[in-house]
Amino acid sequence: MRRSAPDPTSTPGGRRARGAVGALATATLLLPLLGAAPPAAAGSSASRLQGAFASAAARYHVPQSVLLGVSYLQSRWDSHAGAPSVSGGYGPMHLTDARTALAAASHHGDGGEDARGDSARAPLHPAAAVPAESDLPARLKTLPKAAGLTGLSARELRTDPAANVAGGAALLAAAQRDLGAPLSADPADWYGAVARFSGADDTVTAAAYADDVYDVLRTGEERTTDAGQRVVLAARPTLVPDTARLARAGLRTGSAAGTECPRSISCAWVPAPYEEFGDADYGNHDLGDRPAAQTIKYIVVHDTEGTWDGVLNLVQDPTYVSWNYTLRSTDGFVAQHVKAKDVAWHAGNWYVNAKSIGLEHEGFLAAPDSWYTEAMYRSSARLVRYLAGKYRIPLDRQHILGHDNVPGPTTSTVSGMHTDPGPFWDWRHYFELLGHPFRATAGRHASLVTIRPDYAANRPTYTGCVTAGVDCASHGSSEVRLYSGPGTSYPLIKDIGLGTTPTTGVNDLSSRVSTGQQYAVAGRDGDWTAIWYLGQKAWFENPAKRPVAVPASGRVVTPRAGATSVPVYGRAYPEAAAYPAGVPAQAVSPLRYTLPAGQRYVVGDKLRGEYYYAVTFTADSHRVVVGEDLYYQIQYGHRVAYVRAADVDVVPAGR
């Protein structure tokens, strides 16, 4: 989430900172430890990881399918070149050593952005820091334990995928023994050990994790990893685990009382305080009556830029800021802090805050090799599906926003807006989990495109992850770079709202589009496609054999006839006449950007101007002001924006 320069004292990865058995299972008993996948060709370099799973399963007497299923939920079998995840987890088994994931501060405390984003109240710039954690929980110290069980060094477990898999197998076997269970060849007998492997300390979270692993075992998976390794887990659709052993695991009983979460995830109520303090000041959110008084239009995806325990301490501080939910990386556990009816202070734009729900994911933007676990992606997707269904929020990139897609509400705030979850959040996979994958919806020569690179293969160069100006490690990315002409020799597209020279910095959004975003085509030249972006024609490489965008259909806005350009806004506020007595009218102030004649931008919602007046602790003075002026939300640059309906025409895009 940070825009500030990297901290040179940070350690790598420590910034910006997851019963009855059917015929197939019976077959596994006949081929103990080897029935998880078809045998790979001997000597194939692309099959070494598959062989490592087989070897570790045999050595530690863990069914290979269980080992593969756990690893898939942890990392999707990726090794990330030995780099740690956002919670200090390494390798395909996500063995944790969280000393590498400690951060100095949360993203809400180190930048110029006012998380509340309301000019009607004095800016809030919290300075609280994440406290140091000398006593890390066991779930963040599994790598040292694996080292003790295997005799392998911590370095080997971090950097060698085969050693890492062996460490994971040893931990599973140890968990099985701790439960007093035999090292059975039947995957159905390992439910309790899988639940323990999650590191969760309550039965609900541990069971949710184990259920996900067994879902993977039933459906099967296959993919090529980030290191080019082909891994296959054969499906066992009739597999039914023995869940009874979980009761012997000694875990506390979790409670979801008070939460607004689906039953398919583990959730707890950890409330953010609504308290008055100081000279009529208060924090750290506003009471509301959503969706009755005002609609909820957006879900905003953040990363925490801090570790789990420290971030939870912050959101419980009344002098700090707030968000609705936090998701834990190691196991996908969710803490809810603010009810959906109330307004959390998280996005830096009061209009968006008043109409959104904010989700913080344990993570660090500028550590490109920090990665989010599959457990957290899946838990987040379930939560978003639930919220989207409950509040009728469309599952698309104009409504499921990254914090980096939220516009600055006024010209002076544009440069201070945050950039998380950043280029390493896998939007394509996330929307597949949401059940709304990005697909072509028009013919080859359509006048709209949806950005959709292959995350693993798409590796643009970024700088400044660890040291300013120095290249980040190569890593898959959701984002595609834009140039002012059809070739990399042309300058990068400039963001006139920032007024700075564009760079390849990891936090510089000037010339980047993100997976799922849609734009109007402005031209084509060989392998290059141009789109309308920030009032300019912007080009990206889009070869037919390796496309990074797919044809799309939809509607676009263009300036009304006779207008040379129309203003662009960072919020959709009502006209001055709409404000009642006692509620100061808020300026309808355009940004530096314009929408020039002849250009087209993909349109989302049509919105009536709205402002939530909430500047006092007592809610009886709060008002929702609704105007007559109408706006369209558009995909303008990397961030969304708004234009007045009276200024534009809406037309269907050509097919």
| Between residues 319 and 633, the one the model is more confident about | 633
64 and 170 part of one domain: yes
496 and 645 part of one domain: no
495 and 641 part of one domain: no
With b for 16 or more beta-carbon neighbours within 10 A and e for fewer, the 491-522 pattern comes to ebbbbbbbeeebebbbbbbbbbbbbbbbbbbb
pLDDT of residue 22: 32
The string of DSSP codes covering 597-611 is TT--EEEEEEEEEEE
Q: What is the mean pLDDT of residues 397-422?
A: 94
582 and 620 part of one domain: yes
Q: Is residue 385 part of a domain?
A: no
pLDDT of residue 29: 28
User: Mean pLDDT, the chain, as a whole number?
Assistant: 88
pTM: 0.87
Separation in Å, CA 222 to CA 66, 73, 201, 225, 546: 15, 13, 31, 9, 21
- Percentage of the chain with pLDDT > 70? 88
Closest CA to 184 of 196, 172, 195: 172
pLDDT at 458 over 60: yes
635 and 528 part of one domain: no
Three-point CA angle 71, 72, 77, nearest 5°: 75
Sequence-distant (6+) residues with CB within 8 A of 49 are 77, 79, 92, 161, 162, 165, 225, 227, 229, 231
Q: Is residue 265 part of a domain?
A: no
CB atoms inside a 10 Å sphere around CB 436: 18
Question: What are the start-end ranges of the E strands in 351-443?
Answer: 356-361, 400-402
Q: Give the pairing of strands 267-269 and 334-336.
A: parallel
pLDDT of residue 465: 81
Edge-to-edge strands, sheet with 325-327:
267-269, 334-336, 325-327, 356-361, 298-303, 400-402
**Over the stretch 411-439, which tens digit does the pLDDT of each residue have?**
999 999 999 898 989 999 999 999 999 99
| Between residues 368 and 650, the one the model is more confident about | 650
Give residue 292's identity as a one-letter amino acid code. A
512 and 641 part of one domain: no
Q: Give the pairing of strands 298-303 and 400-402.
A: parallel
pLDDT at 466 over 60: yes
466 and 548 part of one domain: yes
> Left (φ > 0), alpha (ψ -120 to 50) or beta: where does 270 sit?
beta
> Left (φ > 0), alpha (ψ -120 to 50) or beta: where does 81 sit?
left
**Over the stretch 590-628, which tens digit does the pLDDT of each residue have?**
999 999 999 999 999 999 999 999 999 999 999 999 999
Q: What is the mean pLDDT of residues 346-365?
A: 92
When mean pLDDT is compared across 55-64, 386-395, 416-425, the lowest value belongs to 416-425
pLDDT of residue 392: 97
pLDDT of residue 189: 97
Give residue 545's identity as a one-letter amino acid code. K
Last residue in a domain, options 517, 534, 552: 552
Place of tokens 């009536």: 608
The residue range of the domain holding 481 is 438-552
Q: What is the mean pLDDT of residues 30-50?
A: 55
pLDDT of residue 30: 28
pLDDT of residue 83: 79
Separation in Å, CA 199 to CA 169, 209, 238, 318: 15, 10, 27, 30
610 and 472 part of one domain: no
d(CA 593, CA 200): 48
pLDDT of residue 474: 84
570 and 512 part of one domain: no
Q: What is the mean pLDDT of residues 520-537?
A: 98
Q: What is the mean pLDDT of residues 303-322?
A: 85
Q: Give the pairing of strands 325-327 and 356-361.
A: parallel
Edge-to-edge strands, sheet with 565-569:
590-596, 565-569, 640-644, 623-635, 601-613, 555-559, 648-652
d(CA 275, CA 597): 49
Contact 436, 338 (CB under 8 A): no
With b for 16 or more beta-carbon neighbours within 10 A and e for fewer, the 403-418 pattern comes to bbbbbbbbeebbeebb
469 and 600 part of one domain: no
d(CA 418, CA 331): 26
pLDDT at 464 over 90: no
Domain count across the chain: 3
526 and 627 part of one domain: no
Q: Is residue 283 part of a domain?
A: no
pLDDT at 509 over 60: yes
Last residue in a domain, options 552, 578, 607: 552
Structure tokens at 262: 């689906």
Give residue 208's identity as a one-letter amino acid code. A
Last residue in a domain, options 506, 530, 552: 552
CB atoms inside a 10 Å sphere around CB 234: 18
Q: What is the mean pLDDT of residues 521-547?
A: 97
d(CA 429, CA 454): 10
Q: Is residue 41 part of a domain?
A: yes
Q: Is residue 39 part of a domain?
A: yes
Structure tokens at 31: 């081929």
Q: What is the mean pLDDT of residues 637-647?
A: 98
d(CA 81, CA 67): 20
Q: Is residue 210 part of a domain?
A: yes
pLDDT at 132 over 50: no
Closest CA to 309 of 328, 324, 337: 328
**Over the stretch 242-299, which tens digit does the pLDDT of each residue have?**
999 898 888 888 888 999 999 989 999 999 999 998 777 898 999 999 999 999 999 9
Give residue 323's identity as a one-letter amino acid code. W
d(CA 528, CA 334): 42
| 631 bridge partner residues | 607, 644
Structure tokens at 40: 């790979």
Closest CA to 413 of 632, 651, 130, 118: 118
70 and 172 part of one domain: yes
d(CA 162, CA 168): 10
Q: Is residue 35 part of a domain?
A: yes
**Band (644; pLDDT cuts 50, 70, 90):** very high
Q: Is residue 241 part of a domain?
A: yes
**Over the stretch 70-126, which tens digit does the pLDDT of each residue have?**
999 999 999 988 878 877 889 999 999 876 544 434 555 555 567 878 877 776 655
Backbone angles phi, psi at 177, to 5 degrees: -65, -40
Structure tokens at 99: 């000393």
